[in-house]
Homo-oligomer: A and B are copies of this chain.
Amino acid sequence: MTPSGAVLAANEAFYAAFEARDIDAMDAVWEHSDRVVCTHPGWARLRGWEAVRASWARLFAGPQRLQFVLTTVDVEVVADAGWVHLDENLLDGGATATVAALNVFHRDADGRWRMIVHHGSTVVGG
């Protein structure tokens, strides 16, 4: 698999974990370190795996069940860093919204790409 393909596979695993509300799968997607950052749309940014994990656990415990249609997916890789830009087209029951997202991954010593940044922002009128 090319580096770009591996980053895209890691990115897909993130959205699969999100849709499935599967905290164990989310554990496997992210790097477990103090440098990871997650900025949910409209939220202040969360830094460090402990805070980031807690946010996913809380979201998954809530009533919201999101489905994603991912569009305009672009991937870039520079050595051991890779990032994916995409639009999350969200289906939340009958409502829809578009979130512009940036996901950053780092390849660890074992060659596994782990998420280190997720940043989403709602597109106004999107």
> Residues 31-61 of chain A: 1 if any B CB is under 8 Å from the residue's CB, otherwise 0?
0000101010111110100000000000000
> How many protomers of this protein does the assembly include?
2
A79 within 8 A of B: yes
Whose C-beta in chain B lies nearest to the C-beta of A124? B42
Contact B42 A123 (CB under 8 A): yes
Q: How many residues of A sit at the interface, in one of the four size bands? A: 20 to 34
Whose C-beta in chain B lies nearest to the C-beta of A34? B74
Q: Could you tell me the distance between the alpha carbons of A117 and B43 in the complex, rounded to whole angstroms?
A: 20
A97 within 8 A of B: no
Whose C-beta in chain B lies nearest to the C-beta of A44? B123
Contact B121 A41 (CB under 8 A): yes
Residues of B within 8 A of A72 (CB): 45
Residues of B within 8 A of A81 (CB): 78-79, 81
Tell me how far the C-beta of A80 lies from the nearest C-beta in chain B, rounded to whole angstroms: 6
A7 within 8 A of B: no
Whose C-beta in chain B lies nearest to the C-beta of A126? B44
Q: Could you tell me the distance between the alpha carbons of A37 and B121 in the complex, rounded to whole angstroms?
A: 14
A122 within 8 A of B: yes
